[in-house]
Structures are given as C-alpha cells and as structure tokens.
Structure 1
Amino acid sequence: MLDTGMLVLGAGAGFNVLDMIAQLVIFVILLALLKKYAWGPLMKVMKEREDHIANEIDTAEKNRQEAERMAREAQEELRNTRQEAQKIIENAREVAKEQEKSIITRAREEAERLKESARQEIEQEKENAIQAVREQVSVLSVKIASKVIEKELREEDQEKLIQDYIKEVGEDR
C-alpha cells in the first residue's frame, strides 16, 4: 500500500520532461512573438518618445537662448534710446539758451534803437522850440522897435511896454 501510495504521489510529483520541453518551446515562441510584436514596437515608440522629448528640450533651450538674446538686445536698445533722449533734451536746453541770449540781445538792440530814436526826436523838438522862441523874440523885437519909433517913451513906459509884450507872448502860447 505504501508503494502504491507513493507511486501515486511520485507520479504526481514527478517531472515529465516532455511537458517541460513543450513549455520551454512555447515560452521561447512566446518570447519571440513578444519581442517581434510587442517589445520591438514598444521600444520603437519609447525611442521615438525619447527623441521627441530630446528635440523638445533642444527647442526649448534654443528658444530660451533666443529669448535671452532678444532681452539683451531690448535692454541695449532701451539704454540707447534713453541716451538719445538725454542727448535730445540737452540739445533742446542748449538751443533754448541760445535763443534766450539771442532774444535778449535783440531786445537790448531794439531798446537802444528806441532810445536813440527818442533822443533824436527830443533833440528835434528842442530845436523846433528854440526856433519858435527865436521867431517870437524877433517878432516881439520888431513890435517893440516899431512902438519905440512911433513914440519916444520914458524908461518906465518902456519897461511897462516890455512887460506887456512878455505877458502877451505868454498868453499866445
């Protein structure tokens, strides 16, 4: 009984070489199929994905470098623009100062011209006034002489006559 029981146990626990070889062949065929239809395409997809990611990283790096270059250029352009604006402001200040000097010089020249013109006008009016007084004096002299000739006067009458004519001349004005 024992033998029979062992035999049954041994038969169940024994290795069947043919089954193992069949399983090994099936396993190798399965591995070959997996390699051809699953592992190869999977590796190809993984390689494409890796290449794509590497390209994206390269593109991103190039874009970053380009952005940095453009930022530097923009900063340089901004600095240049500020310098140009400062130069324009300085030039405008200088032009304004020159215009100010020019305006002041012209104003002084105009004032001098007006003063000279006024002085000449005053001089002319003075000459006209002197001429008018001379004419009046000569008219008075003639009148006095004609009165003296018409009648001989005493010194008091002559003085009175002169004073009357002076008053008359003052009223004529």
Structure 2
Amino acid sequence: MELLKGVKIAVLTFDLALGAAGGPFNGGDILFQLIMMLILLALLRKYAFGPLMGVMKQREEHIANEIRSAEEKHEEAKKLIQEQRELLKKARQESQELVEHAKKLGEKQKEEIIQAARAEAERLKEAAKKEIEQEKEQAVAQLREQVASLSVLIASKVIEKELNDAEQEKLINDYIKEVGEQL
C-alpha cells in the first residue's frame, strides 16, 4: 500500500515536471507506465522479494540461532571455568594438607630416629662399660696369677738361699719391676 502511494507521488512529481517544462501532457502513457510499474512490482514481489525475504528470514533465524548457541556456549564455558577454579582451589588445599601432613610425619620420624639413636648410644655405652669392666677383671685376674707365680718364684729362690733383710727387699723390688714391665 505504501509502495503504491510512493509510485503515485513519483508519477505526480514527474507530471508536474513535464507540465512545467511546457511539454504536452500525455495521460495514456503515464497510465500505461503506471500499470506496467505495478505489474513489475507485483512480479518482483512474487518472484524476487518473496524468496529474497525468505532467504533473509532464514539468515536472520540462522544468525539468531548462532547467537543463542554462542551465548549458551559462553555460559557453559563460564560454568566450566568456575568448576575448574573450584577444583584448582580444592587441589591446592589438598596439596597444602599433604605437605603439612608430610611435615608432621617427618618431625615424628625425626623424633623417633633421635630417640632410637639415643637408646642405641646408651646401649652401646652400657655394653662398652660392661666390656671394660670384664677386661679390667680379666687383667686383675691375670695380674693376680702373675703375682702368685712370682710369689712362688720368689719363695722358691728365697728358700734356695737365705737372704738378709736388705737382699730380700732388693729381690722383692726387682720382681715388682719385672711384673711392672710385663704389664
């Protein structure tokens, strides 16, 4: 309807332009051109504008679907990003807990190792003391045996010859020196 009004205005403007130019006014040609213009518009509307509008409508729907799909994917991506952030945060917390647990376990093991080392050192110290005591007792026992054998030896020599007090003192000192050198 608006198209017809536009055509009428165009035709009237054309007629006025021709009339102002001083040319003859031919209404039949104008009417013929008007009818032809209307037929042309009808044909264009049916065969060109209809399919063109259909294509434009399809294109509009396709673009709208693409925009909707992009918005959905954008929202899904936002959700995935949020989930990933939460998972990352949870993983960081878990790793921090594992580190803390490992530190505590390390400290506990350190204390256990120190206690075991102290206990082992104390056991070795006691064993060394016992060994020293045993070796001391063996040394004393050997010394007693040597003193006894020396005493027997001295006694046998004394018996062989009778000594005065000075000689006897000298003999005892000599034997004590021998025993000291042997030890």
Place the TM-score, normalised by the shorter chain, in its bin.
0.7 to 0.9
Which blocks of at least 5 consecutive residues in structure 1 are unaligned? 1-10
The CA distance in 2 between the partners of 1:20 and 1:144, in whole Å, is 173
Instruction: State the partner residue of 2:24.
Output: 12
Structure 1 residues 37 and 139, CA gap change in structure 2 (3 angstroms): same
Residue deviations 1:108-165, cap 9 Å, x none? 1211121111111100110011101111121122122223333332222221221121
The CA distance in 2 between the partners of 1:68 and 1:128, in whole Å, is 88
User: Are 2:170 and 1:133 aligned?
Assistant: no
The CA distance in 2 between the partners of 1:82 and 1:100, in whole Å, is 26
Q: Which amino acid aligns with 1:84?
A: E
Deviation at 1:105, TM superposition (A): 1.5
What count of residue pairs does the alignment treat as equivalent? 162
Which blocks of at least 5 consecutive residues in structure 2 are unaligned? 1-22
The CA distance in 2 between the partners of 1:152 and 1:25, in whole Å, is 180
Alignment partner of 2:129 out of 109, 119, 122: 119
The CA distance in 2 between the partners of 1:22 and 1:168, in whole Å, is 163
The CA distance in 2 between the partners of 1:168 and 1:64, in whole Å, is 107
TM-score, normalization by structure 1: 0.82
Identity score, percent: 57
The CA distance in 2 between the partners of 1:12 and 1:166, in whole Å, is 173
Name the SS of the counterpart of 2:65 in structure 1: helix
How is 1:17-166 mapped onto 2 (pairs within 5 angstroms)? Answer: 21-166=31-176
The CA distance in 1 between the partners of 2:51 and 2:175, in whole Å, is 144
The CA distance in 2 between the partners of 1:31 and 1:41, in whole Å, is 14
TM-score, normalization by structure 2: 0.78
The CA distance in 1 between the partners of 2:95 and 2:30, in whole Å, is 91
- 65-74 or 141-150: which moved more? 141-150
Name the SS of the counterpart of 1:157 in structure 2: helix
Q: RMSD value over aligned CA atoms? A: 2.2
The CA distance in 2 between the partners of 1:66 and 1:142, in whole Å, is 111
Instruction: State the partner residue of 1:6.
Output: none
